[in-house]
């Protein structure tokens, strides 16, 4: 099963200094990359590249990320993301447009989602998504 890796995971792993509590996240991502299971979408790529001040750092990260092809985003994905937003909002659960797009893409393609963002645990109570459990190296 492919795993859609959220911005939060990439950000933790790409930091210059990895905190000891994030070492397992780095190891898990490395394992997923090695297995060819990582999926990324354009909005996550954009979030990762946004705000990098030094051009050399931007170019280096861009070049590293180019190893991963973007999963295509379709009209159906956007419509499903809006539906997911409405379902969660009706239950008092808020999220960003990108978060719901991640959920829609993962759900429609049967990907799990690897994230450290606790909002996704709330989404999973309402939406048909599977969160990647790095402790068991699989879905929840």
Task: Give the tens place of pLDDT for each residue, 16-54.
Answer: 677 777 789 999 999 999 999 999 999 999 999 998 999
> pTM to 2 decimals?
0.93
φ/ψ of 94, rounded to 5, equals: -105, 155
**24 vs 137, more confident:** 24
Task: Encode pLDDT of 87-105 as tens digits.
Answer: 999 999 999 999 999 999 9
Nearest Cα neighbor of 90 from 126, 130, 129 is: 126
Q: Which domains does the chain have, with CATH numbers?
A: 3-139 (3.40.50.1010)
Residues in the chain: 140
């Amino acid at each position: 099963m492919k795993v859609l890796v959220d911005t939060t995971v990439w950000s933790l792993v790409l930091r210059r200094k990895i905190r000891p509590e994030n070492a397992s996240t780095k190891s898990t991502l490395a394992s997923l990359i090695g297995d060819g299971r990582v999926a990324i979408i354009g909005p996550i790529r954009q979030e990762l590249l946004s705000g990098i001040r030094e051009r050399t750092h931007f170019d280096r990260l861009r070049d590293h990320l180019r190893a991963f092809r973007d999963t295509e985003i379709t009209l159906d994905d956007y419509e499903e993301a809006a539906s997911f937003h409405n379902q969660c909002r009706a239950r008092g659960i808020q999220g960003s447009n990108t978060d719901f797009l991640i959920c829609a893409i993962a759900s429609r393609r049967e990907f799990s989602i690897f994230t450290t963002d606790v909002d996704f645990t709330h989404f999973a109570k309402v939406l048909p998504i599977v969160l990647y459990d790095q402790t068991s190296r699989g879905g929840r």
